[in-house]
């Protein structure tokens, strides 16, 4: 694979790879490092890449592995268990956090890594369940279960947040 083929077949997936890294690592700087690391590894093994049929799935799988390696190395194991309650920011925080979109973005980041990765692959990248299953090395059914859990949890957080907002609003009205 020469430079042109590498750009055409591999680098075109940089945006998706970067977003995936951002979703897993929740840090721009680390996500950039992960992307750089992945692309350097792929460039070094560029002669073996021709044999791969689904480049996107391969790259995203590799990106996830690089990110998980980075997390392991940095011992950033402050992953929140799936059953942890989401503590919505109090009204004061919320007034500071005026951008509701950012707020929901941070809610997604509170989800377990597998759930938020699947959620973003489906809803942001609009990938098919089959491809997500391939990348995550699981069955389509398992993907559906994780996706459903992630979305329901997100809905609960959003609804809970809205109720708290309303309570505060009623109190100060």
Partner 1 sequence: MNGIDNLLEKYFNGVSSTEEEKRLKNYFKGAGVLPEHEVYRPLFAVFNNERQIKAPVMIFPYKKIKRPAFTRRIIIPAAGAAAVVLLAITLSTLNRRCPQPAEYVVIVNGKQVVNPYKARQYAESMFWEAEKIVERSHQPFREAADMKKNLNAEKILRETEQKIEYIKTNHAQ
Residue from 24, 25, 39, 111 in contact with partner 1 (CB under 8 A): 39
- Closer to partner 1 by Cβ: residue 77 or 118: 118
Contacts of 140 (CB under 8 A, 6+ apart): 129, 130, 133
Q: For 27-47, give the DSSP string.
A: -HHHHHHHHHHHHHHHHHTGG
What is the spatial distance between Cα 126 and Cα 148, in angstroms, rounded to a whole number? Answer: 15
- Closer to partner 1 by Cβ: residue 68 or 151: 151
What is the spatial distance between Cα 165 and Cα 160, in angstroms, rounded to a whole number? Answer: 9
- If one asks whether residue 167 binds partner 1 (CB under 8 A), the answer comes out as no
Q: Which two tokens stand for residue 157?
A: 């957080």
Q: What is the distance, to the nearest Å, from the Cα of residue 23 to the centroid of all Cα atoms in its chain? A: 3
- If one asks whether residue 164 binds partner 1 (CB under 8 A), the answer comes out as no
- If one asks whether residue 128 binds partner 1 (CB under 8 A), the answer comes out as yes
- If one asks whether residue 125 binds partner 1 (CB under 8 A), the answer comes out as yes
Q: Which two tokens stand for residue 49?
A: 């890449």
- Closer to partner 1 by Cβ: residue 17 or 134: 17
Interface residues toward partner 1, by CB under 8 A: 2-3, 6, 14-15, 17-19, 22, 32, 35-36, 39-40, 43, 100-101, 103-105, 108, 120, 123-126, 128, 144-145, 147-149, 151-152, 154-155, 158-159, 162
């Amino acid at each position: 694979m020469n430079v042109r083929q590498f750009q055409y077949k591999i680098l075109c997936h940089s945006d998706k790879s970067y977003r995936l890294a951002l979703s897993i690592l929740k840090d721009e700087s680390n996500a950039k490092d992960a992307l750089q690391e992945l692309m350097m590894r792929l460039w070094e093994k560029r002669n073996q890449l021709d044999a791969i049929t689904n480049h996107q799935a391969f790259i995203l799988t590799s990106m996830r592995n690089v990110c998980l390696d980075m997390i392991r190395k940095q011992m950033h194991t402050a992953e929140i268990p799936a059953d942890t309650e989401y503590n919505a920011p109090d009204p004061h925080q919320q007034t500071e956090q005026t951008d509701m979109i950012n707020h929901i973005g941070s809610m997604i980041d509170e989800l377990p890594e597998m759930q938020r990765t699947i959620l973003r692959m489906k809803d942001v990248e609009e990938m098919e369940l089959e491809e997500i299953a391939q990348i995550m090395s699981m069955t389509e059914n398992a993907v559906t279960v994780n996706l459903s859990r992630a979305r329901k949890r997100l809905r609960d957080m959003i609804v809970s947040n809205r109720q708290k907002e309303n309570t505060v609003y009623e109190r100060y009205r």
